[in-house]
Amino acid sequence: MLAAAHEGAGGGQVIVCFVLDPAIFDRAGPARQAWLAANLLALRETYQGRLTLLHGDPVDVLPGFAQEHGATAVHVSTETQPFGAARDARVRAALAEVGVEWVETGSPYAVTPGRVRNKAGDPFAVFTPFARAWRDHGWRAPAEEPASLQLADAASGPEPWAILECALARKGVPELPPAGEAAALARWRTFLSDGLQGYAAHRDRPDLDHTSRLSPYLKFGVLHPRTLLADLADCRGAGADRLITELAWREFYADVLHHHPGSLDADLRDGLTGMAYEEDPQLVEAWQQGRTGYPLVDAGMRQLLALGWMHNRVRMVTASFLTKDLHVWWPLGARWFLDHLIDGDLASNTHGWQWTAGTGTDAAPYFRVFNPVLQGVKFDPHADYVRRWIPELRHLCGAAAHEPWKQDDGYAHGYPQRVVDHADERRGALARYEAARGGN
């Protein structure tokens, strides 16, 4: 995008500008606000202060700003999520009224959502054929920042920066990873040399922490997937192949949301519309605070509160527990995740939840209910992950921490009793499922 703006300006000066839109920013939870703030502050440093920050609805603030600085065009990366796409259409129209061109270049994806189609020209509904077609479609190498790029000084007032400083200082902000592109690239290089080889074998193990942890950087475009894919093209082996597949999931979910904007707050498939849900506030709170009495679930929910991030396997287990053990409709959990994740992303989050709840893209059968204890024993075999996040269980050795109810001193340090019985709730979930299907 910067390269396109540079070219569009005939090699002249370019203003780098970010609009802090209250309609988005004010609705993001403190974690995501702080993470955005940290990265914008890092970007300002990278550009030696030449980053303009505006605050307001871009429809109101951008046309005046462009006119004031004699800009002939505004370059953006294409927005394909429902709110952003609708907003951009309005901004484009407002800019056209003052004679300023709107230019969209690329998107935060390797392939802009909406472009990968099947032979009939239709979007894909299922991941595997999408991923195949996405790989066949291919992508260009990431554009280099032009060496002759000149950034103009278009100082913005202090008010928007103060909003960012406040967001960073707010209570309840989790421990953030290092912000900015240099930190993201450093993380990526470390992962390439130390993590990629074992990625395919260990990516499901929360205790080993063997994933890239790049999702927060990808979320805000601090790192572009094409940068990763370009490096992965030079790598061989199961780790590289698996990571490309995981990046394809991100692209797939963005594509699905692009084609089905209504899936943000409604089941994608209507097979379970008659399902009976519940929303017991005490149970929901136990889940949110990591006090369900199921160690793997609680460890994940506490990791989320502490870091604004949770391991993928544990996201699936905690989401399954809310939807199938506590019988809560998935949007409540999706909202909680979105409010607390620093990588909180409408597409990946909504469809990660819908996948787990059995209402989404994959024909993931509803009756596959994760057993939180067996998942713990399998993917956290020594319970190191559980002990890391649950101090009340640190006195228990090895896998015993997954089943404190079997230990004489399991509850000696205040760990809560199980809020429900998994076997009963599993049966209950299946009965609800059968009833809903019977009604359809």
**Residue 250 among known ligand-binding residues:** yes
Structure-token match 């991941």, residue found: 127
Can you state the angle between helices 238-259 and 346-357, rounded to 10 degrees? 100
CA dist., res. 308 & res. 35, Å (int):
9
Token pair belonging to 178: 């290092």
In the list 15, 341, 386, 390, the residue contacting ligand FAD (rule: CB under 6 A) is 341
DSSP string across 137-206: H--PPPPPPPTT-EE---PPPHHHHHHHHHHHHSTTPPPPPPPSHHHHHHHHHHIIIIIHHHHHHHTT-T
- Please report whether residue 312 would count as binding ligand FAD according to CB under 6 A: yes
Question: Shortest Cβ distance from residue 109 to ligand FAD (Å)?
Answer: 10
- Which pair of tokens denotes residue 19? 């609009």
Q: Does 268 engage in binding with ligand FAD (CB under 6 A)?
A: no
250 touches ligand FAD by CB under 6 A: yes
Query: Could you give the 3-state DSSP secondary structure of residue 426?
Result: helix
Torsion, Cα of 296, 302, 303, 304 (10° steps): 110
CB of 315 to ligand FAD, least distance (A): 4
List beta partners, residue 14: 151
Binding residue per annotation — 211? yes
Q: Provide, rounded to whole angstroms, the least separation between the CB of residue 207 and ligand FAD.
A: 14
Contacts of 89 (CB under 8 A, 6+ apart): none
Rounded distance, CA 331 to CA 316, Å? 14
The residue with its CB nearest to ligand FAD is: 352
34 near 173, Cβ under 8 Å?
Answer: yes
Beta pairing, strands 150-151 & 13-14: parallel
Q: How many residues bind ligand FAD (CB under 6 A)?
A: 28
Q: Which is nearer to ligand FAD, 275 or 322 (CB)?
A: 322
The answer to the question of whether 425 is labelled as a binding residue is no
Q: Which stretch binds ligand FAD (CB under 6 A): 109-117, 128-136, 343-351, 368-376?
A: 343-351
The least distance separating ligand FAD from the CB of residue 136, rounded to whole angstroms, comes to 19
Using rule CB under 6 A, residue 212 touches ligand FAD: yes
Q: Is 189 flagged in the annotation as binding?
A: no
Contacts for 226-234 with beta carbons within 8 Å, 24 or more apart? 226/110, 226/139, 226/140, 226/141, 226/142, 227/142, 227/185, 227/188, 228/188, 229/110, 229/139, 230/141, 230/142, 231/188, 231/192
344 annotated among ligand-binding-site residues: yes
- Decide if residue 214 touches ligand FAD (CB under 6 A): yes
CB of 413 to ligand FAD, least distance (A): 29
Least separation in angstroms between residue 88's CB and ligand FAD is 21
Q: Which long-range contacts (CB under 8 A, 24 or more apart) does 230-234 make?
A: 230/141, 230/142, 231/188, 231/192
271 is in an annotated binding site: no
Cβ 94 to ligand FAD shortest distance, Å: 30
The annotation status of 228 as a binding-site residue, yes or no, is no
Question: By C-beta, is 223 or 390 nearer to ligand FAD?
Answer: 223
Tell me if 247 contacts ligand FAD by CB under 6 A. Answer: yes
**Smallest distance from the beta carbon of 209 to ligand FAD, in angstroms?**
9
How many CB atoms neighbour CB 111 within 10 A? 21
Under the criterion CB under 6 A, does residue 345 sit at the interface with ligand FAD?
A: yes
Q: Does 315 bind ligand FAD (CB under 6 A)?
A: yes
Question: Of 80, 107, 292, 348, which one interacts with ligand FAD (CB under 6 A)?
Answer: 348
Tell whether residue 107 is among the known ligand binding residues: no
Residues flagged as binding site for FAD: 199, 211-215, 246-253, 343-345
Q: Which residues bind ligand FAD (CB under 6 A)?
A: 203, 211-215, 218-219, 243, 246-247, 249-250, 253, 312, 315-316, 319, 337, 341, 343-345, 348-349, 352-353, 356
Residues flagged as binding site: 199, 211-215, 246-253, 343-345
